[in-house]
């Protein structure tokens, strides 16, 4: 009964939207008939379609297909995403201010639900929602003029709208100003979204949508580009020092506002709210649900820059983390390695012991100590005791002691997900460390000898072999 009504309603709406599409294309036909026709290039995020070099308006034909697809939301956890073009976020549309956009929206016959699209770049009621509302097995065509430059969110606006958006139905359309955008070395497309699954964070298997969690605005996942790990591991973004990076960042929501931040970078320019004016030298910018920003910066020192929502439990406990891996020569005058020394009164007691360790060192322990202090101590703390529930201990760690040799995998490839150390649960992200074979062997040996009463277990040659294996 319910099913019957639903089918009837969408049928009527599809017919209605067909009629509307016809009227609008007729209205445009007279004034826009002579425009050259350009086919929109569609690429998967974080890639962007190529910058526009045209100096005159065109009629840009966009073919977007709604696909309901089951994909990994986290390693081992699946989710039924509803998408524009098979990806979350949906494919980026890139046009020039003054262009006429001819949008074709297909709803695959194999889909289960009606969908449509509301583009914030449209001037007019509903942003195209009524014209494009179609049941599975239909195509809608809607034409609009991109009057104002800026970066705009688009999303599905079919009831229940919050649910369609929560399932991944959002993307962006960039309307370049007439004069174009300045040239940069890298353009990346990243969107944040909040996801509401029946099971807890990283519960394995196919997860259902939880409407009550969505209404309560208590997401299970807060993600960049639709998956826990979409911008980490083998998917990290990359740049070289001195290269200019522009990120097109949006928030699909449906609910959360992002405190968008890149740890270790200062944005040279932030095009606030995706508009035409920019603010300079910004640390964190606020991006509302259904809003966007363009940020530009030039990484100056090598290393991993971590992309987060600075509402930090979202980053550490719900997945909102990405990495921009920067390669290049160290710049000690901008960013030094630093020096750490014990306080005077501690030094008096500890100094002779420390000297002894270095003096008797013949297996890279001094080197391991220096790597540890420089890198690992920031999270696992100088004494290796960690922070309960956040950074697991390396000193006296049962996890480490079980297979000290295997720990090199964690340093080489990073680690995330459920972990139990000395009975305490952890669920964080340790980024892969950019260290050479000598340093990895040395730091593992140092931790095993100095913090776990063990013996040296690794040689640089073994680390070299382990690099090839992507286990753990
Ligand atoms: Cu939809």
- Give per-residue pLDDT as tens, 139-161: 999 999 999 999 999 999 999 99
Measured in Å, residue 95 CA sits from the centre of ligand 1 at 23
Measured in Å, residue 127 CA sits from the centre of ligand 1 at 14
The pLDDT of residue 302 is above 50: yes
Please report which residue ranges of 56-166 form alpha helices under DSSP H: 129-132, 161-166
Measured in Å, residue 105 CA sits from the centre of ligand 1 at 11
Cα–chain-centroid distance for residue 277?
25
Measured in Å, residue 44 CA sits from the centre of ligand 1 at 19
Cα–chain-centroid distance for residue 259?
13
Looking at residue 358, what is its pLDDT? 38
Pairing label, strands 37-39, 59-74: parallel
Residues whose CB falls within 8 Å of the CB of residue 341, separated by 6 or more in sequence, listed in order: 347
Residue 440: C-alpha distances to residues 243, 305, 359, 395, 405 (Å): 29, 21, 21, 17, 11
In the chain, CATH 2.60.40.420 sits at 39-327
Q: For residue 124, count other CB atoms closer than 10 A to its CB.
A: 11
- Give per-residue pLDDT as tens, 256-295: 999 999 999 999 999 999 999 999 999 999 999 999 999 9
H or E element at residue 267: strand 267-271
Looking at residue 405, what is its pLDDT? 86
Cα–chain-centroid distance for residue 104?
28
Measured in Å, residue 267 CA sits from the centre of ligand 1 at 34
Looking at residue 31, what is its pLDDT? 60
Q: Of 146, 183, 152, 172, which Cα lies nearest the Cα of 52?
A: 183
Structure-token pair, residue 78: 């699946």
Cα–chain-centroid distance for residue 391?
22
Measured in Å, residue 86 CA sits from the centre of ligand 1 at 13
Residue 158: C-alpha distances to residues 11, 82, 106, 119, 134 (Å): 14, 12, 15, 13, 10
Please state the rounded mean pLDDT for residues 34-47.
Answer: 97
For residue 98, the 8-state DSSP code is T
Angle at 118 between CA 190 and CA 140, to 5 degrees: 115
Collapsed DSSP state (helix, strand, coil) of residue 35: coil
The pLDDT of residue 27 is above 80: no
Of 418 and 188, more confident: 188
Of the listed ranges 3-12, 33-42, 125-134, the one predicted with least confidence = 3-12
Of 129 and 346, more confident: 129
Banded pLDDT at 461 (limits 50, 70, 90): confident
362-466: in CATH 1.10.3720.10: no
The pLDDT of residue 134 is above 60: yes
Looking at residue 351, what is its pLDDT? 47
Whether 295 contacts 249, CB under 8 Å: yes
Measured in Å, residue 419 CA sits from the centre of ligand 1 at 36
Exposed / middle / buried, residue 181 (Cβ in 10 Å: 0-12, 13-18, 19+): middle
Residue 40: C-alpha distances to residues 55, 124, 151 (Å): 16, 22, 16
- Give per-residue pLDDT as tens, 366-416: 899 989 998 889 889 899 998 888 889 999 999 999 888 889 999 998 888
In the chain, CATH 1.10.760.10 sits at 362-466
H or E element at residue 401: helix 398-402
39-327: in CATH 2.60.40.10: no
Strand order in the sheet with 221-224: 221-224, 186-195, 245-253, 291-297, 267-271, 278-282
Measured in Å, residue 67 CA sits from the centre of ligand 1 at 10
The pLDDT of residue 446 is above 90: yes
Q: Of 285, 168, 169, 286, which Cα lies nearest the Cα of 227?
A: 168
Please state the rounded mean pLDDT for residues 178-191.
Answer: 98
Q: Please state the length of the chain.
A: 472
Measured in Å, residue 168 CA sits from the centre of ligand 1 at 9
H or E element at residue 327: strand 321-327
Q: What is the pTM of this model?
A: 0.68
Per the listing, tokens 């950074």 go with 391
Looking at residue 417, what is its pLDDT? 81
Measured in Å, residue 117 CA sits from the centre of ligand 1 at 8
Residues whose CB falls within 8 Å of the CB of residue 142, separated by 6 or more in sequence, listed in order: 20, 21, 24, 103, 105, 128, 131, 132
């Amino acid at each position: 009964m319910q099913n019957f009504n639903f089918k009837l309603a969408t049928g009527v709406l599809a017919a209605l939207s067909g009629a509307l599409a016809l009227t609008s294309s007729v209205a445009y036909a007279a004034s826009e008939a002579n425009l050259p026709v350009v086919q929109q290039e569609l690429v998967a995020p974080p890639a962007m379609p190529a910058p526009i070099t045209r100096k005159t308006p065109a009629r840009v034909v966009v073919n977007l297909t709604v696909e309901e697809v089951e994909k990994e939301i986290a390693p081992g956890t699946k989710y039924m995403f509803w998408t524009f073009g098979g990806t979350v976020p949906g494919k980026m549309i890139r046009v020039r201010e003054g262009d006429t956009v001819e949008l074709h929206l297909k709803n695959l016959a194999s889909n289960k639900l009606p969908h449509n699209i509301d583009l914030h770049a449209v001037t007019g009621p509903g942003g195209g929602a009524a014209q494009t509302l179609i049941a599975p097995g239909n195509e809608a065509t809607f034409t609009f003029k991109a009057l104002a430059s800026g970066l705009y969110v688009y999303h599905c606006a079919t009831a229940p709208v919050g649910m369609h958006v929560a399932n991944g139905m959002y993307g962006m359309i960039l309307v370049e100003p007439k004069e174009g955008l300045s040239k940069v070395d890298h353009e990346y497309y990243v969107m944040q979204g909040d996801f509401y699954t029946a099971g807890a964070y990283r519960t394995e298997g196919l997860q259902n949508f939880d409407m009550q969690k969505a209404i309560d605005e208590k997401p299970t996942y807060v993600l960049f580009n639709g998956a826990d790990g979409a911008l980490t591991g083998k998917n990290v973004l990359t740049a070289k020092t001195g290269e200019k990076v522009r990120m097109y960042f949006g928030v699909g929501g449906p609910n959360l506002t992002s405190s968008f931040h890149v740890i270790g970078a200062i944005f040279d320019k932030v095009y606030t709210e995706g508009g035409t004016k920019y603010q300079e030298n910004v640390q964190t910018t606020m991006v509302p649900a259904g809003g966007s920003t363009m940020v530009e910066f030039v990484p100056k020192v090598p290393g991993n820059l971590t992309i987060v929502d600075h509402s930090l439990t979202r980053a550490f406990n719900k997945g909102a983390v990405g990495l921009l891996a920067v390669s290049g020569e160290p710049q000690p005058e901008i960013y030094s390695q630093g020096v750490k020394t014990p306080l005077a009164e501690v030094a008096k007691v500890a100094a002779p012991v420390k000297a002894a360790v270095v003096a008797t060192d013949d297996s890279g322990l001094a080197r391991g100590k220096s790597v540890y202090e420089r890198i690992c101590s920031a999270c696992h703390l100088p004494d290796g005791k960690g922070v309960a529930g956040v950074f697991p201990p390396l000193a006296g760690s049962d996890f480490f002691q079980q297979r000290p040799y295997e720990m090199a995998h964690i340093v080489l490839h990073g680690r995330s997900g459920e972990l139990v150390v000395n009975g305490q649960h952890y669920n964080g992200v340790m980024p892969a460390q950019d260290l050479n074979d000598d340093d990895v062997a040395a730091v593992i040996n140092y931790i095993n000898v100095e913090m776990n009463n063990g013996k040296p277990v690794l040689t640089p040659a073994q680390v070299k072999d382990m690099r090839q294996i992507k286990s753990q």
